[in-house]
Amino acid sequence: MSNPKLIVVSAPSGCGKTTIVKEILKSHPEFHFSVSATTRAKRNNETDGKDYYFITKEEFQKHIENDTLIEWQKIYDDYYGTLVSEVDKSFACGKSVVFDIDVLGALSIKKKYPEDSMLIFIDVPDMDILNERLKNRKTESPETLKKRIDRVEMEMKQKTLFDYIVINDQLQQAVDEVEKIISNNFN
Ligand code: ADP
Ligand code: 5GP
């Protein structure tokens, strides 16, 4: 058996990374999902402790002070970070970890775990599709939608630093592609 791996899935908001990660986790119960901490408000379809640990800015600040985050970013006026405990508990039982984090967080993971991480960038065929997906998701106000779109250019610039780029046009095709990348890395 190979070493546990860090499978990092990143993309600008709306490209479909969370959808793809959920599909991957359904077919890989042997993987652990790294539940991030965030200060953003919980969406209706989210569960605390499963999708995120929803915490206050003060609690997040404590994590920074206590050095209990592997990486963190301020994104759209909120804080998001990967907890050391999420990776430690997976590695302790030999499990690989799947991350759904932003592009800068992904690059930090690569820096810390250059040998064992695989960085997968989820892209979209064009910006119109991205806009449409974000609007159809119905989770954003006009203001938060704009903040997400404003960050896309910077995020797209990072994609050449990723190990793999998968275009999420047809969902099942994109999931299959990610599956293939993962299985190639375990052989
Ligand atoms: P992200 O996690 O990257 O912000 P989501 O996974 O939330 O993106 O996907 C954004 C929206 O697009 C969701 O409503 C999701 O159901 C939808 N979506 C994801 N992939 C596709 C696809 N291939 N075709 C059409 N809609 C998609
Ligand atoms: P959302 O608010 O849409 O759930 O997430 C916003 C962005 O934050 C997404 O790109 C998501 O992947 C990213 N994100 C979620 N958790 C983390 C984390 O722990 N660290 C970093 N750097 N980004 C994260």
pLDDT per residue over 127-176, tens digit each?
999 999 999 999 999 999 999 999 999 999 999 999 999 999 999 999 99
Of the candidates 74, 75, 99, the one whose C-alpha atom is nearest the C-alpha of residue 86 is 99
| CA dist., res. 38 & res. 52, Å (int) | 7
Domains of the chain are: 6-186 (3.40.50.300)
- Residue 53, CA distances (Å) to 5, 59, 85, 121 in order: 23, 11, 12, 24
Minimum CA distance residue for ligand 1 atom 20 = 16
- Please name which ligand lies nearest the alpha carbon of 10: 2
Q: Which residues line ligand 1 (CB under 6 A)?
A: 11, 13-19, 133, 136-137, 168, 170-171
- What global pTM score does this model have? 0.97
**How far apart, in Å, do the first and last CA atoms of the chain sit?**
9
The average confidence (pLDDT) of the chain is 96
| CA-nearest residue, atom 19 of ligand 1 | 16
**Rounded Cα–Cα distance for residues 80 and 71 (Å):** 9
If residue 165 lies in a helix (H) or strand (E), which one and from where to where? strand 164-167
Residue from 10, 13, 15, 19 whose mutation best tests the ligand 1 pocket (most atoms within 8 A of CB): 19
Distance (angstroms) between ligand 2 centre and the Cα of 100 equals 7
**pLDDT tens sequence across 71-115:** 999 999 999 999 999 999 999 999 999 999 999 999 999 999 999
* Best residue for ligand 2 mutational test, from 101, 122, 123, 159 (most atoms within 8 Å of Cβ): 101
- pLDDT band (50, 70, 90) for residue 1: low
Q: How far is the CA of 162 from the centre of ligand 2 (A)?
A: 17
Would you state the structure tokens that stand for residue 33, as one six-digit string? Answer: 């999902």
> Is residue 182 predicted with pLDDT exceeding 70?
yes
